[in-house]
Copies of this chain bind each other. A is one copy, B any other.
Amino acid sequence: MQKNGNSSPVRVLVDAMGGDYGPQEAVKGAIEALDAGNDAGNDARNDARNDARNIEIILVGDQGPIEAELARYDMAGKPVTIVPSVGKIGDDEHPVHGLRHKPEASILVATRLLKAGKGDVLVSMGSTGASMASSVMVLGLMEGLERPCIGGPFLGLAPRTIMVDMGSNVDCRPALLLSFAALGAGFAKKFLGIKSPRIGLLSVGAEEAKGNRQVQESYHLFQQSHLNFVGNVEGMDFFTDKADVVVCDGFVGNILMKFTEGLGGVLGEYLKKRLGPAISGPGAGSIIADLWTEMNLPRKMGGPLFGVNGTVILGHGSSRSDGIAGAIDTGVRCVDLDLVGGMRQELAEIYESGALRVS
């Protein structure tokens, strides 16, 4: 990991219209990220980066509302610019339809700026489908890849276990799962500094014969690749250090993500009842708040889009400013670590190994 010497600031494109709270939280989050100088030294997970990192913010969105938000802050000396766009693509719109009918929507304008080299990383809390479609259309997929996916750690209680796919591809053939595994391996190498990431296929038993048809077919394909494939892993293995990258289709990944979020909520309620009588003062509240964060890691740090030719960080639509600042920090790390280059290399090795053909 690079610790110093990044003298030129990282230029962060922020989709200011994305997310449930629009420019209000996007602007606030961007300023929080600026003010922190991306000094993530207060987060144990980022312990390799103790130095501050200079960033510039480019807010993309409807000019009026963004200027109104900026007017709330003392912007003197802050490297923030606005690039105007027109409208946004909502969660309720079909992504491709939206992109076609709103050619100046914030996500499209921001992605074009990234493609043109006017920014180093794009951060959006907007419609996941629209962000993915825009990225594929404008930036293009890495060579040979059929679909992008979303990956990363998803549980603070298992911060070094990567899950891929987190929910973008519900029906996956084995070849697609293998390409996702390669992208996950690239992420684990770059982001977690693991030399030879252990890849596990999420299944219902460790034995080769265990699993549904998709997993059984994938098993053999994974064995033929250059990856450090450790076989099937099970639901509990997110916590057992058997694999660094757990591979599943987006159907299972999405269900696990949302299940965990929901569980975090009821756990908080449960602990409130139990801890209230046992702990006096604000202690119980901080334990519950911290636990919620542990159960909602992607809301705190966002998640990179895997497999497109550019650094794109997606976040939960319900993110508040801290989630947006966290996603910006994740994006800056991905730029500094050359995550895209790492993933591209890992994919290339998959093709060299003969396990997959360039499609």
Contact = CB atoms under 8 A, between A and B. Distances in A.
A237 interface: yes
A263 B263 contact: yes
Contact of A261 (B212, B236, B250, B283): B236
Interface of A (DSSP majority class): helix
Contacts of A175: none
Contacts of A212: 170-171, 249, 251
A204 B167 contact: yes
Q: Which of A213, A250, A267, A279 has the most CB of B within 10 A?
A: A267
Contacts of A355: none
A287 B278 contact: yes
Interface string A64-99: 000000000000000000000000000000000000
A32 interface: no
A252 interface: yes
Given A157-B267, A267-B157, A275-B287, A235 B257 contact: yes
Given A212-B170, A267-B267, A274-B287, A237 B254 contact: no
A196 interface: no
A284 B275 CA distance: 9
Contact of A157 (B155, B204, B258, B263): B263
A254 B235 CA distance: 8
Contact of A278 (B202, B234, B279): B279
A157 B211 contact: no
A112 B202 CA distance: 37
Contacts of A213: 171
A291 interface: yes
Which of A215, A238, A259 has the largest count of B CB atoms less than 10 A from its CB? A259
A9 interface: no
A238 B167 CA distance: 18
B256 A170 contact: no
Contacts of A170: 204, 211-212
Interface of A: 155, 157-158, 167, 170-171, 202-204, 211-213, 215, 234-240, 248-252, 254-263, 265-267, 270-271, 274-275, 278-279, 283-284, 287, 290-291, 294
22 contacts: A155-B263, A157-B263, A167-B204, A171-B212, A204-B251, A204-B254, A212-B251, A234-B255, A235-B255, A235-B256, A236-B258, A238-B262, A238-B263, A239-B265, A240-B262, A256-B259, A263-B263, A267-B291, A270-B291, A278-B278, A278-B284, A278-B287
